[in-house]
Amino acid sequence: MSSETEQTVFLSDYSPSPYAIEKVELEVEIAPEVARVHAWLTISPREGTAPGTPLVLDGDELMLDSIALDGAPLVLSAYASTPRALTLIEPPARRFVLETSVKLAPEKNLRLMGLYRSNGTWCTQCEPEGFRRITYFLDRPDNLAVYRVKMIADAALAPVLLANGNLVEQGDAGNGRHFAVWDDPFPKPSYLFAMVAGDLGSIHDEFTTMNGRKVALGIYCAHGKEDQCLYAMDSLKRAMAWDERRFGREYDLDVFNIVAVSDFNFGAMENKGLNIFNDKLVFAKPETATDADYANIERVIAHEYFHNWTGDRITCRDWFQLCLKEGLTVFRDQEFSSDERSRPVKRIEDVRVLRAAQFPEDAGPLAHPPRPDHYKEINNFYTTTVYEKGAEVVRMLATLLGEAGFRKGMDLYFERHDGEATTIEAFIKCFEDANGRDLRQFQQWYLQAGTPRLAVTENYDAGTKRYTLDFTQTNPPTPGQPEKQPMVIPVKFGLVGPNGAPATWTGVSGGNVADDLIVLDGASARITFEGVANRPVPSLLRGFSAPINLETNLSEADQLFLARHDSDPFNRWQALQEIATALLTRAARGMNWTGESVAALAAALAETVAAPGLDDAFKANVLGLPTEANIARVLASDVDPDAIHRVRVQLIEEIARQIAGALQAAYAAGSVDGAYSPDAAQAGKRALRQAALAFLVRGGVGGAAEIAARQYQAATNMSDRFGALAAIAANWTADAPALLADFRTRYGEDPLVFDKWLALSASPADDGALERVRAILAAPDFPRNNPNRLRALVGSFASGNPVQFARADGAGFRFVADFVADVDKRNPQVASRVLTAFRTFRTYEPVRRAAAEAALKNLADAGGLSRNVADILERTLSG
Ligand code: PHE
Ligand code: ZN
């Protein structure tokens, strides 16, 4: 265990490095098999560094070819080099230039970190620790340097040569080769370095900034895909305009390029001036991309662009501060999507994701605060907690300070920290200083893990016309954090009077209440409203104003009332979800529901679906009953996925039978005339139609499967075709295999459609699912090194098929564990991410729990695991 402890990095150990690399000049010769990287690093000792202090540069699988200092080769005794480090034993006590040269093998780089080759294109991925796989460096985010890169490559193999910043020179390099020199004037950390070389097509456009500067925009992709980049380009221009309007942020370079590559570990990367994208988040055309794909492209293009200010111009001091850039930038992309589309619908969808992904993480062995204080493998901390909970924390800040106060804090942040690598504390301080507020307690959100529980009981006294709300906050223990401080919880609220209009009060006491906001900051509080004419129904946590579990003592009748009358759309949706969740969790425990409850829920659903004045996409969300994973999360222990699946189908059948007419009407009314457009209104129409169809098919309503099959055949866009097929596959009706086979061949070899087929093959709960997945994976031509393919197939099975992954016989667990062991040899990041599907294993009933544990222990015993997988495994087993 001692070597394990040595590997742990602690926030409390942070100290600036004794040297600073101020300037980087690279000459990179790119050729098949081998690339040569020559680096000239201008280095100075920092103030206070004792003369003779060694300089230790990071490396990862590097081999030093040559080394010189200020132009003179270094003697062997002056340095030490290993694949992981280059040490200058006694560097000069003044500014000097260190010159090194290394060779790389991009084709063999299957980890997709550093310089690698994807479909013939050379590209880089450096966040968080990939630059050290390109050259020896102080590979930490607080070393800010300017970069100038000369790239040399065969002109036929790589006519396109791109790097960060501006193109300053290009020309012939002899022997059929050419070169390009890129210069980035903005000091940046090494993780934002990027380079691309290849034979690529491109589209070009221009953006004029608010101060009239012209920016050349380019998107590069495989030849023939250019027409699929247009929506991404449109999204980019809208994002650039939005950041000017909403945050006053202007783009700063003369060019902004995006490159789409097929092999990528994440979604996309915000390298300064040269964003590199997983091509699934760039390519779209109506025939092959769904509405959800379009929305995702828009969101991620914006996300990476927004990083230019929140991430690149102001970056992180160390990786513990990751959510400084990620949480904030997710918040910004959520706001962008809300402004471009429907705000309430976006909020519902974001909360769905939060509850489906982040809440389980926060309730299990992998729980960690948005700002962790130690890690063994930083790649394992690109989590939904850092990203999505991080965004929730920023959202609460905006709620507490109001829009103007929040903007003041952001402005100060940009003004004060531009060009710096900074911390969460410094970020919060800007909001304190700009608003004259004390946010010390609020900072606990960054420091404490776990989802707070907020219990509320309400009481109305008709005699005194007094209405009270009693709040109790509990913060459950998480790994390493047994005891917790109370959090600051902003509760947006309204009291709804008997006629559905807002109830009024003459006075309020017992807490911090202003307008529609209650701010709780203690373990408990009693808020008393005076002069309330009739018993109101409280609508609490409107818009999901804090990432917590709210427990009320509201009756089903109250929830139904809110579902009809709440002026807050989020809580209307939430009320129906709560009723369904209560029915489903009780039924999964063997307590049957009453006919009246189901009938009431069914009637409310039908009424909502038919209601005029509500967004189609909102209605679609209302028809999406809680997922199996969500029910499992609420149950929290002794989970039997079979039982959950069974009662959920049963409830859908009962409801569908009762409201088949309303669902059929919604389906019929939802057809879209005219040309396909991915805009929110049209997409919403399709979403409602789709939700109605899925409900009807799942509910076994006569003729529904046939309608779905017909829609599948007649569809003129992927949303309609995929939606129909998904409804059929989820139900695993008799014609599911044939339709899936048709889908597989219909689109030729389009890899992104292949991914949809893989996911649809892996997610159905039928008993054949595991064998299906096994067979697909075992096919000799299955692309075993492509992260998208692996995630679409095995990721969907492990994280999207709770019944078959958690088979009682343990076969699903064993299959995934074996897969992890195998993929780990080539791509540890993909392996460790798939492994996180086990994070809730202790919540299963005993048989499955034991089976999952056995599979995990078996994986551990096999040994030879990467640090990525070993870290997740160890935490999962010990948590
Ligand atoms: N920083 C990227 C983002 O925008 C994510 C990422 C992390 C990509 C690590 C690649 C590697 O969220
Ligand atoms: Zn990001």
Question: Ligand 1 atom 4: the closest Cα is on which residue?
Answer: 269
The Cα 311–Cα 878 span in angstroms is 34
Q: How far is the CA of 607 from the centre of ligand 1 (A)?
A: 43
Can you say how many angstroms the Cα of residue 556 is from the centroid of all Cα atoms in its chain? 34
Q: How far is the CA of 317 from the centre of ligand 2 (A)?
A: 16
* DSSP code of residue 175: T
| Residue 671 pLDDT | 87
Residue 129, ligand 1, Cβ within 6 A = no
Ligand 1 mutation pick, 266, 280, 304, 332, max ligand atoms within 8 A of CB = 266
Q: Which ligand is nearest to the CA of 192?
A: 1
The band of 3, judged by pLDDT with boundaries at 50, 70 and 90, is very low
| Residue 748 pLDDT | 87
User: Which of 286, 190, 312 lies closest to 720 in space, CA to CA?
Assistant: 286
The tally of CA atoms less than 13 A away on the side-chain side of residue 692 is: 30
pLDDT higher than threshold 60 for residue 213: yes
Mean pLDDT, residues 7-20 taken together: 97
| Residue 670 pLDDT | 87
Judge whether 17 and 143 are in contact, CB under 8 Å.
Answer: yes
| Phi and psi torsions of 314, nearest 5° | -115, 115
Reduce the DSSP state of residue 507 to 3 states and report it.
strand
Residue 266, ligand 1, Cβ within 6 A = yes
The Cα 128–Cα 370 span in angstroms is 17
Longest dimension (CA), the chain: 95
Residue 319, ligand 1, Cβ within 6 A = no
pLDDT higher than threshold 80 for residue 116: yes
Q: How far is the CA of 289 from the centre of ligand 2 (A)?
A: 23
Sheet of strand 85-88, all strands in order from the earlier edge strand to the far edge: 55-58, 85-88, 79-82
The tally of CA atoms less than 13 A away on the side-chain side of residue 195 is: 32
The Cα 412–Cα 417 span in angstroms is 8
pTM beyond 0.95, yes or no: yes
Which residue among the candidates 129, 270, 298, 304 is catalytic per the annotation? 304
The Cα 695–Cα 708 span in angstroms is 11
| Residue 863 pLDDT | 87
| Residue 6 pLDDT | 56
| Residue 40 pLDDT | 99
Q: Residue 193 is inside which H or E element, if any?
A: none
pLDDT, averaged across the chain: 97
Strand partners, 73: 68
Judge whether 153 and 31 are in contact, CB under 8 Å.
Answer: yes
Q: How far is the CA of 375 from the centre of ligand 1 (A)?
A: 18
pLDDT tens, residue by residue, 828-872 = 999 999 999 999 999 999 999 999 999 999 999 988 999 999 999
The Cα 218–Cα 85 span in angstroms is 37
Burial classification of residue 383, based on how many CB atoms lie within 10 Å of its CB (0-12 exposed, 13-18 middle, 19 or more buried): buried
Strands of 285-352, DSSP E: 315-316
| Residue 879 pLDDT | 80
Instruction: Quickly count: other Cβ atoms within 10 Å of residue 861's Cβ.
Output: 7
Mean pLDDT, residues 93-102 taken together: 98
pLDDT tens, residue by residue, 36-71 = 999 999 999 999 999 999 999 999 999 999 999 999
| Residue 5 pLDDT | 46
Contacts of residue 507, Cβ cutoff 8 Å, sequence gap at least 6: 529, 530, 531
Q: Point out the ligand 1 atom lying closest to the alpha carbon of residue 264.
A: 10
The band of 115, judged by pLDDT with boundaries at 50, 70 and 90, is very high
Q: Point out the ligand 1 atom lying closest to the alpha carbon of residue 130.
A: 11
Q: Residue 853 is inside which H or E element, if any?
A: helix 846-862
User: Which of 501, 350, 524 lies closest to 454 in space, CA to CA?
Assistant: 524
Q: What is the dihedral of CA 718, 721, 726, 728, to 10 degrees?
A: -170
The band of 409, judged by pLDDT with boundaries at 50, 70 and 90, is very high
Distances (CA, A) of 24 to 133, 144, 147: 15, 10, 5
Reduce the DSSP state of residue 148 to 3 states and report it.
strand
Q: Is the peptide bond before 486 cis (omega within 30 degrees of 0)?
A: no
pLDDT tens, residue by residue, 428-443 = 999 999 999 999 999 9
Distances (CA, A) of 695 to 18, 486, 573, 595, 622: 63, 41, 17, 19, 11
Reduce the DSSP state of residue 530 to 3 states and report it.
strand
The Cα 606–Cα 692 span in angstroms is 11
pLDDT tens, residue by residue, 335-365 = 999 999 999 999 999 999 999 999 999 999 9
Q: How do the residues of the chain divide into helix, strand and coil, expressed in percent and rounded to 5? A: 45, 25, 30
Single-letter amino acid, residue 802: P
pLDDT higher than threshold 50 for residue 487: yes
Single-letter amino acid, residue 429: K
Q: Which ligand is nearest to the CA of 328?
A: 2
| Residue 700 pLDDT | 97
Take residue 490 and report the two structure tokens written for it.
Answer: 């902003």
The Cα 585–Cα 562 span in angstroms is 21
| Residue 2 pLDDT | 35
Q: Point out the ligand 1 atom lying closest to the alpha carbon of residue 265.
A: 10
Angle between helices 704-714 and 680-698 (to 10 degrees): 140
| Residue 4 pLDDT | 45
Residue 127, ligand 1, Cβ within 6 A = yes
Judge whether 269 and 304 are in contact, CB under 8 Å.
Answer: yes
For tokens 């009270």, the residue is 468
214-221 vs 255-261, strand pairing mode: parallel
Q: Is 47 noted as a catalytic residue in this protein?
A: no
Question: Ligand 1 atom 2: the closest Cα is on which residue?
Answer: 269
Mean pLDDT, residues 171-193 taken together: 98
Distances (CA, A) of 112 to 490, 508, 751, 829: 42, 58, 18, 9
Judge whether 691 and 648 are in contact, CB under 8 Å.
Answer: no
For tokens 């504390």, the residue is 425
The Cα 576–Cα 571 span in angstroms is 9
User: Which of 709, 685, 683 lies closest to 696 in space, CA to CA?
Assistant: 709
| Residue 755 pLDDT | 98
pLDDT tens, residue by residue, 666-683 = 999 988 989 999 999 999
For tokens 């040490």, the residue is 87
Q: Which ligand is nearest to the CA of 129?
A: 1
User: What's the chain's Rg over C-alpha atoms?
Assistant: 28
Ligand 1 mutation pick, 129, 190, 269, 275, max ligand atoms within 8 A of CB = 269
Distances (CA, A) of 35 to 122, 131, 170, 260, 764: 10, 14, 19, 22, 45
Instruction: Quickly count: other Cβ atoms within 10 Å of residue 79's Cβ.
Output: 21
Angle between helices 569-588 and 628-635 (to 10 degrees): 70
For tokens 């079979």, the residue is 642
Judge whether 454 and 525 are in contact, CB under 8 Å.
Answer: no
For tokens 């993480």, the residue is 361
pLDDT tens, residue by residue, 707-758 = 999 999 999 999 999 999 999 999 998 899 999 999 999 998 999 999 999 9
Q: How far is the CA of 239 from the centre of ligand 1 (A)?
A: 18
3-state SS track over 687-701: HHHHHHHHHHHHCCC
Ligand 1 mutation pick, 112, 261, 270, max ligand atoms within 8 A of CB = 270
The tally of CA atoms less than 13 A away on the side-chain side of residue 70 is: 6
pLDDT tens, residue by residue, 784-797 = 999 999 999 999 99
Judge whether 36 and 28 are in contact, CB under 8 Å.
Answer: yes
